Structure 1
Amino acid sequence: MSRLLGPVRQNGYVVRDIEKAMKYWSETMGVGPWFYIEKPPIEAFEYKGQPSQPDISIALANSGPLQIELIQQRNDAPSMYRDFLQAGHEGLQHVAYWTTDFDGTLAKCLAAGWRIGHRGQIGARGRFLYFESTGHPGTVIELSEISGNKGKFFEKIAREAESWDGSNAIRRL
């Protein structure tokens, strides 16, 4: 557990083929069901302080208390997902910490010298940002606000995973 941010709540995997990844995770790993959003309504996206419009698809499922996120970027717009793929990587790109005090937690991170790589928002009180990482691949830190509907959606995903019987593995939203 992070002394600054608490427990890791999500592992985020950047993949080249999200359909193939969901199939692998559900059939081989037994993780699901997957909530697949082909075009999430991301607003105010910025990469290194500049507006950008990455076309991404995401899929979310839980494995116990840990949420797994799959992300496929479908265009070449600047983002940390694009950077990860262009560096020749695929797989675990970030770990996410969730907060209901986004501004307070962000202030602590910035005071510790962390720099924002990209940021955006999904709905009211659904801000997210990724801090730049000079470490090794797979260690980017995401800070995700879960005070609004996004938090309720994440709770639903966790509940569905608890009783999932392996059927209806991909639920397109």
Structure 2
Amino acid sequence: MTRCDWAENADDLMTHYHDYEWGVPTKDERETFELMTLEMMQAGLSWQTVLSKRENFRAAFANFDVDRVAQFNDDDMVRLVNDAGIIRNKLKIKDTIHNARQLVEWHHAGRTMNAYLWSFVGDQPVINRYPTMADVPAQTPLSQQVSKALKQAGFKFVGPTIVQSWLEALGILDDHLAKCTVNHLGE
């Protein structure tokens, strides 16, 4: 099997993520919130760092149950900032809780983040097959559009580069390299 460059010669965690998650379309709202949070946490760090702490994040953030995270209070903030098992960036933690509260409002209004994000691509994944990693953009007009819309809707820490990675993680964008033989969509 030939993989994207970032997953070649990687550890088992990265290889598994590449082979079974990254670029795989999801319609699961809990998973969407989890990946939103993990992508936010990755800003300025490596994805390897985030993946190695994923189980700790799940424990610290109530398995990304958006209703529970939305109810986190000042004591939870202190607990999270002091949790050595996660990335202890106070702003990222605060914005995760804020975003959970925004999502709860959406859910009460009958909206989901997952359906919203997929609506930008007509509910069909955008399949790109870039020749090299250097060709894969850090952001695109789509991620810029989604980022702007999310910020206008009150979400935080959703810049176009974070959104680009998030859309890839959700399988909305399938940016496996042309040489990659991992096939999520049966093409």
Structure-1-length-normalised TM-score: 0.31
Higher RCO, 1 vs 2 (CA within 8 Å, ≥6 residues apart):
2
Structure with the higher helix share, 1 or 2? 2
Q: Which has the larger radius of gyration?
A: 2
TM-score by length of 2: 0.29
